[in-house]
Structure 1
Amino acid sequence: MIRAVNDFLDDLRGGRMTDAPVVSVEQGQLQGKVVNSPSGKAFYSFQGIPYAKPPLGSLRFKAPQPPEPWEGIRDATAEGNVSAQLDLFNNNQFTGDENCLFLNVYTPNLDGEFLPVMIFIHGGGFKFGSGNSNFYGADYLVEKDVVVVTLNYRCGALGFLSLNTPEVPGNAGIKDMVQAIRWVKSNIQNFGGNSGNITIFGESAGGAAVSLLTASPLSRDLINRAIIQSGTALSNWSIQQNPIESARRLAKTLGCESEDPEEFLDFLNATSARDIVEAHEKLNPINSFPEVLNAFGVVVEKEFPGVEAVITESFKDLLTSGRVADTPIMIGSTSLEFALERKSDDLQAFIPEELNIERNSEESLAIAEQIKKLYFKGSHTGVESLQEYFELLSDRLINIDTHRHVQYLVNVSKKPIYYYKFDYVGELNISKKLLNSFGLKHAMHMDELGYLFKNDLQNDVEPTTLDIKMRERMLRLWTNFAKGGNPTPDENHYLTVTWLPVTKDNIYYLNLGQELSLETNPDKEKMEFWDNLYSKYYRIWEHPRTNIVETTIKSTEPKIVETFTESVTVYSESNEFSESRTFVTETTEIVTENNEVISESHKIITGNDAEPEKYEVITENNVIITEANDVVPENNEVAPESNEVVPETHEEVPERPEPVPERHEPVPEKHEVDNVVEIKELPEPAKIEVQAPVKAVNGDRKVSPRPSNEIKMVSRSNGAPKDVIRANDPPEDDLPKNIGVNKFVNFFESLGGKK
């Protein structure tokens, strides 16, 4: 009797966990369950919690909407759907669902202790993966008195399609993460978590996402700390450079021949999620990485009034200017990230594309020779050089950008930056199960995850005593950082050194090997080489601030890249459109193996087949280039004689007359400018009737794309045509800030101008 009373009192005090805990959140009540960790310690589990409205129907490809309330008590004892994807562990079979915006909360207490919160972002190249417990079980972390949140977000094209429009600006998958953080911020106190102490952490693409979330105005004020593991948004594999082309290729793979981005959307909205996922895999087979980068990743969004954007300028600009979260950062990588098949012996492939060094040029060949001397003791081919090749590959994909991230961050941040290298090889290394390690005695991509999370791959693994010690070290370092921003607040049996943050003078890093050691300047000689290469060749003014510039993809095989102007209104000298017709047509570039560009250009064609007498080229950087190739600064307008400025019209545009046969012109001299549009002045806009497209629900493909030889003028919501170029338009200031006088001059010279 006395024992029963004591048990009852323990229940009242929270001393015993109830089997069916119920928690209230803003949308209603949730019933979770009690589970036991491998050590036998019990904790609460709430799974499959919707943090946003299902992104179905008209919400496909769009930013997530807040979740809707529910009646009664919602069951939260099972995980929700994963994002629609191909299952790598099951012969690439389709799995998941579009309705995937769910998160899981694991907590040791519900009694208001307000514990630190750790939100994990899973990796998978923004193409696959989930936060589910079969791979990311929070059992070990929760034992360290933190609340752990894992989540699913939209992957692949469903999460990262961008059409550079207000309706589909891109980054829906990143916005899912932002929405999840917002939900946690509003509700985690009901799970015993502290909404004022949130750490986000992620690995691989998850690491890149975490780095991006520290810079995005949508999220940087919501977080208190961040851990970036084996991935950063500085890496080219994380950023989508050419979203319109990626969308066009995806639609074409599915059978849509249209060149109109609005028709891509209609077509893809009428296509099943499974077909979209499988078409994405055809475009980017998983085994083609890194030769072929993922077509759907993070984009630098165009700005639209009233539309939230993750970022509207490059991540590098945000990072180097200090516009990132003012918070402690932990960042690092494994000692040997990748051991992938070598498909080419040409070391020029390792020269970063953003340095814009022409392939097979004297400079490019000299750099390739320097890489060979730096990384290879002898020949850079053959089996005997595999480890050296893997070290180069790992540096190129992860380590160089991680190093750059640290270097940029230490110059602008006043908060501590903790840098690490994971180099422990044990039974819990995930590469033993997933990756071909070739018998290499180094930690590889994802290996540290086996010491932070419980996963099904290791159910039959018997860890050694040293493995258990390393797991305890990792758990303490990560959770100590989450609790107070310092991973080694005191030394003890497990944490035998004090981890010092990076300074401008010393790049301290913690080497996580069989023993812990504090060292400086990892791979010093190699990183100095890459630092010098970036210092010499990276020119910020050569990189557009937005993603709307069409780019060619380097390859060993010729590729055809079609570029087009997204939305242009063309004006003519004549008041009668039928007498003088002007069209802007496509340009086809064939890129050969040596990166030689053979261009078939369809220039401005006038109705009477006469050469255009005068024209201006207005670049995205607001530079006006006349027919004489003169460059005029933005405050000196150049206009042809008797040019009339046509005000913006809100009238609908009638159907255009029959097109004039195209006439091929010689390829003009190429200027080093992006997004160039040639125009002819007209007092009246051409009018074309726009018919409303046929809409369809997701998966109900009934859209008949308009033949690709028709022109469609896309209008703004107020009826005005988009992207109308007028002589009196005030140019935007796209010139990079604070580049100095000399660089300013060089910038205009690079456009073909004169001093």
Structure 2
Amino acid sequence: MITAVNDFLEDLRGGRMAEAPVVTVEQGQLQGRVVNSPSGKAFYSFQGIPYAKPPLGSLRFKAPQPPEPWDGIRDASAEGSVSAQIDFFKKEYVGDENCLFLNVYTPNLDGEFLPVMVFIHGGGFVFGSGNSSLYGGDYLVEKDVVVVTLNYRCGVLGFLSLNTPEVPGNAGLKDQVQALRWIKENIHNFGGNSGNITIFGESAGGAAVSLLTASPLTKGLVNKAIIQSGTALSNWTVQKTPIENARNLAKSLGCESDDPEEVLDFLNATSARELVEAHEKLTPIELFPDVTNAFGVVVEKEFPGVEAVITEPFIDLLTSGRIAETPIMIGSTSLEFAFERRTDDLQAFIPEELNIERNSEQALEIADQIKNLYFKGSHTGVESLPEYFELLSDKTINVDTHRHVQYLINVSKKPIYYYKFDYVGELNISKKVLNTFGLKRAMHMDELGYLFRNDLQKDVEPTTLDIKMRERMLRLWTNFAKGGNPTPDENHYLNVTWLPVTKDNLYYLNLGQELSLGTNPDKEKMEFWDSLYSKYYRIWDHPRSNNDEITLKSSSEPKIIESYSETVTVYSESSEFTESHTYVSETTEIVKENNEIVSETHEFITENNGEPVESNEVITEVIENNEAVVENNDTVVENNEPVIENNDHVVENVEVVDKNEIDHAKVEEKIQEPVKIEESHPSQPPVTAVLNGDRKVQPRPSNEIKMVSRSNGAPKDVIRANDPPEDDLPKNIGVNKFVNFFESLGGKK
């Protein structure tokens, strides 16, 4: 009798939970469903929730817009479309542009304000989704947390950058920010605490998490972060030549124009499928890491009124202390990748950012050191494959994870928990998706099989030890999400206290068959890479922003150089250009409406190994879109050749003028209106510039330039010999038409 009553009560409880739950959010009502976890525990599932307006039509490539409200009750029982992509497993086109959906899994809706864990999927920023086929929240919700997974735009649709206000780049990251804003505003309706949000991600998702912790857009949205097998320090996360990548993609689809607006119009008129397939041909994902994704993260140029995820190199943000208020868990697997060996040249493993010339004495010496460290002097034959894979994994993931921790230690005010996942069991995902070459090592994605339910392991029977490992992982991750400490107390599963790293001790938790606390993982190898970065890495050798590529012109194509009638000449004395980042006061007035010019020029000049500019050296500034280009002054900047060259063919016979003789009133009077100009040099990408003046000035096409002096000796104008009269030129003429018109007059390129 008692048993029957208990069964009846259970049925009643089950019946109440089986009713389709309805939740009200800012946009309307959502009807979800009740799902049973593998252990039989029921939880609520809401899927396919739109967190932004569909990025279709004119919104393609743009930052996401807030979602629109709907009438009635919206069905949230099925997942939304994934981002348009080439499926990694099937190698076929799947998905849709209308993909900005998220899923919420919660153990109750009664307003207990549970910790919230937001997962960002990996896939090299090219493929993947937050759907339950790989990232089911079943196990995590059993630990009394609310789990959110999401889709974001991948590949060219999410990371095209034209360096314009319309398409500055990083739309896929801005999708993630918009999702966090939606979660912050609505998660309390699902029983979640909007004041306790932990973001976590793996691979490209880990890199995205590291960027989000540094972005000003997430201030107040993120409380804790877990970075798994990927950081934004990694070379594969960032586009080096976004403008060239955009141009190459458009050209492969038949676009011959180099004009950013025309390229955007062309790409907007192209189907999503064609864009995705062209991207895959441009940089096939299976060739990673030898060929990296053409459309990844960019350091955005700042535009008034346009939100940017990141406008400085990530390393600057990491070392500045601006991530200091976020508790971090970070780590990687013991062996990330085991790709087919594609080269025996160990110079290929020297980090690009060290700027070491191939086959130089330094490069050959480093390659020999790598050989001795990883292969004990020999690296040929099948027997050395494990060592090769260790080197490959270190280069792509482990070294940058180590660097991330080391940089963070020096500035962080919050705990940093470092781990190595070294467990091999039946739930290791690599057994299903990667070639493990028979190696019994924990590899890329393997920890995910112990955090999420996934379709790949439907028929896998976990061992007792696997189940214990899963319980450990779930407790560590959710304990951190709840209170910022993964081991608040010791128990049967967590029998080790995980200590955060300190400046004196690089503590880490080894997640193997047993938990163990150690220090300095891979100490000998990491010290070797640390020594290389200490010796060769120079932060001033690297672009400070995404402004080095300003137009879509290819440096290999012939270009027309346009002139302008006004010039600004900046004068400095060695005492005024120092590493203190102070600008000459005379210059400041001239460019006061172009603050970015000051900062850009400042970056290039003061970072030249700290050497001051000699007195009375001349810097001619050419300005467009608040960009600065320094001409005829290669003694000022030696390490930024793509941006600054000794353009003798452009500016000739520049006279040194005493700065005290400048008529500032007349100079300032001329600096008002933009005029377009393009620069060319055989060894550098083209640049464009704007000069402000108070009267309209037409471009003048000639390569011969001379300086005209004012009565007081200061340069007044730049005039090209053989220029046609201004009145002979059509108004509002485009560059290509202008070239044709000029040539018809008998001019020459």
Alignment TM class, shorter chain as reference:
0.7 to 0.9
Which residue identity is paired with 2:89? F
Tell me if 1:168 matches 2:167: yes
Q: C-alpha distance in 2, partners of 1:15/1:114?
A: 24
Distance 1:15 1:483, change over 3 A: farther
SS of structure 2 residue aligned to 1:413: coil
Tell me if 1:435 matches 2:434: yes
Identity of aligned residues (%): 75
Q: Which residue of 2 aligns with 1:414?
A: 413
Tell me if 1:490 matches 2:513: no
Tell me if 1:59 matches 2:82: no
Deviations 1:358-382 (A, max 9, x none): 1111111111111111111242122
Are the equivalent residues in 1 in contact too, given 2:285–2:292 (CA < 8 A)?
Answer: no
Distance 1:564 1:515, change over 3 A: farther
Are the equivalent residues in 2 in contact too, given 1:569–1:685 (CA < 8 A)?
Answer: no
User: Which 4+ stretches in 1 moved above 3 angstroms?
Assistant: 2-16, 560-565, 614-632, 638-646, 648-653, 673-692, 705-712
Q: Which residue of 2 aligns with 1:611?
A: none
Distance 1:165 1:12, change over 3 A: farther
Which residue identity is paired with 2:23? V
Q: C-alpha distance in 2, partners of 1:211/1:711?
A: 51
Are the equivalent residues in 1 in contact too, given 2:331–2:420 (CA < 8 A)?
Answer: yes
Q: C-alpha distance in 1, partners of 2:269/2:81?
A: 22
Are the equivalent residues in 2 in contact too, given 1:56–1:99 (CA < 8 A)?
Answer: yes
Distance 1:15 1:384, change over 3 A: same
SS of structure 1 residue aligned to 2:217: coil
Q: Which residue of 1 aligns with 2:37?
A: 37
SS of structure 2 residue aligned to 1:367: helix
Are the equivalent residues in 1 in contact too, given 2:250–2:267 (CA < 8 A)?
Answer: yes
Which residue identity is paired with 1:570? S
TM norm structure 1: 0.78
Which residue identity is paired with 2:99? C
Q: C-alpha distance in 2, partners of 1:631/1:40?
A: 66
Q: Which residue of 1 aligns with 2:718?
A: 682
Q: Which residue of 1 aligns with 2:670?
A: 647
Distance 1:230 1:679, change over 3 A: farther
Are the equivalent residues in 2 in contact too, given 1:550–1:563 (CA < 8 A)?
Answer: no
Q: Which residue of 1 aligns with 2:191?
A: 192
Tell me if 1:571 matches 2:564: yes
SS of structure 1 residue aligned to 2:200: strand
Q: Which residue of 2 aligns with 1:213?
A: 212
Are the equivalent residues in 2 in contact too, given 1:50–1:67 (CA < 8 A)?
Answer: yes
Deviations 1:197-232 (A, max 9, x none): 000000000000000000000014311100000000
Tell me if 1:316 matches 2:315: yes
Q: C-alpha distance in 2, partners of 1:365/1:651?
A: 49
Which residue identity is paired with 1:85? Q
Q: Which residue of 2 aligns with 1:697?
A: none
TM norm structure 2: 0.78
Q: Which residue of 2 aligns with 1:458?
A: 457
Q: C-alpha distance in 2, partners of 1:519/1:248?
A: 49
SS of structure 1 residue aligned to 2:510: strand
Aligned length: 636
Are the equivalent residues in 2 in contact too, given 1:615–1:679 (CA < 8 A)?
Answer: no
Deviations 1:172-213 (A, max 9, x none): 000000000000000000000000000000000000000000
Q: Which residue of 1 aligns with 2:82?
A: 82
Distance 1:477 1:615, change over 3 A: closer
Query: Alpha-carbon deviation of 1:259?
Result: 1.7
Q: C-alpha distance in 1, partners of 2:339/2:392?
A: 8
Are the equivalent residues in 1 in contact too, given 2:564–2:675 (CA < 8 A)?
Answer: no
Q: C-alpha distance in 2, partners of 1:516/1:79?
A: 37
Query: Alpha-carbon deviation of 1:257?
Result: 1.5
Query: Alpha-carbon deviation of 1:258?
Result: 1.4
SS of structure 2 residue aligned to 1:63: coil
Q: C-alpha distance in 2, partners of 1:564/1:335?
A: 50
Distance 1:306 1:630, change over 3 A: closer
Q: Which residue of 2 aligns with 1:730?
A: none
Comparing both chains, which one has the higher relative contact order based on Cα–Cα distances under 8 Å and sequence gaps of 6 or more? 1
SS of structure 1 residue aligned to 2:396: helix
SS of structure 1 residue aligned to 2:508: strand
Q: Which residue of 1 aligns with 2:694?
A: none
Q: C-alpha distance in 1, partners of 2:325/2:339?
A: 37
Q: C-alpha distance in 2, partners of 1:135/1:404?
A: 29
Which residue identity is paired with 2:36? N
Query: Alpha-carbon deviation of 1:88?
Result: 1.9
Distance 1:211 1:674, change over 3 A: farther
Are the equivalent residues in 2 in contact too, given 1:616–1:679 (CA < 8 A)?
Answer: no
Query: Alpha-carbon deviation of 1:418?
Result: 0.3
Distance 1:549 1:625, change over 3 A: closer
Q: Which residue of 2 aligns with 1:546?
A: 545
Query: Alpha-carbon deviation of 1:5?
Result: 12
Are the equivalent residues in 1 in contact too, given 2:555–2:686 (CA < 8 A)?
Answer: no
Which residue identity is paired with 1:238? T
Aligned residue runs from structure 1 range 705-724, under 5 A = none
Q: Which residue of 2 aligns with 1:529?
A: 528
Query: Alpha-carbon deviation of 1:13?
Result: 9.7
Q: C-alpha distance in 2, partners of 1:434/1:58?
A: 37
SS of structure 2 residue aligned to 1:682: strand
SS of structure 1 residue aligned to 2:353: helix
SS of structure 2 residue aligned to 1:406: helix
Q: Which residue of 2 aligns with 1:46?
A: 46
Aligned residue runs from structure 1 range 482-631, under 5 A = 482-550=481-549, 562=556, 570-572=563-565, 616=620, 624=630, 626=632
Distance 1:504 1:255, change over 3 A: same
Are the equivalent residues in 2 in contact too, given 1:424–1:442 (CA < 8 A)?
Answer: yes
Distance 1:517 1:630, change over 3 A: closer
Query: Alpha-carbon deviation of 1:537?
Result: 0.8
SS of structure 1 residue aligned to 2:469: helix
SS of structure 2 residue aligned to 1:134: helix
Q: C-alpha distance in 2, partners of 1:118/1:445?
A: 21
Distance 1:375 1:20, change over 3 A: same
Are the equivalent residues in 1 in contact too, given 2:621–2:628 (CA < 8 A)?
Answer: no
Distance 1:217 1:94, change over 3 A: same
Query: Alpha-carbon deviation of 1:549?
Result: 2.1
Which residue identity is paired with 2:152? Y
Deviations 1:505-560 (A, max 9, x none): 00000000000000000001111111111111111111121123259xxxxxxxx9
- Which residues of structure 1 form unaligned runs of 5+? 552-559, 575-613, 693-704, 713-755
Q: C-alpha distance in 2, partners of 1:235/1:621?
A: 27
Query: Alpha-carbon deviation of 1:676?
Result: 9.7
Query: Alpha-carbon deviation of 1:16?
Result: 3.9
- Which residues of structure 2 form unaligned runs of 5+? 568-617, 639-643, 645-653, 690-702, 706-716, 720-724, 743-749
CA RMSD of superposed structures (Å): 3.7
Q: Which residue of 1 aligns with 2:106?
A: 107
Are the equivalent residues in 2 in contact too, given 1:106–1:147 (CA < 8 A)?
Answer: yes
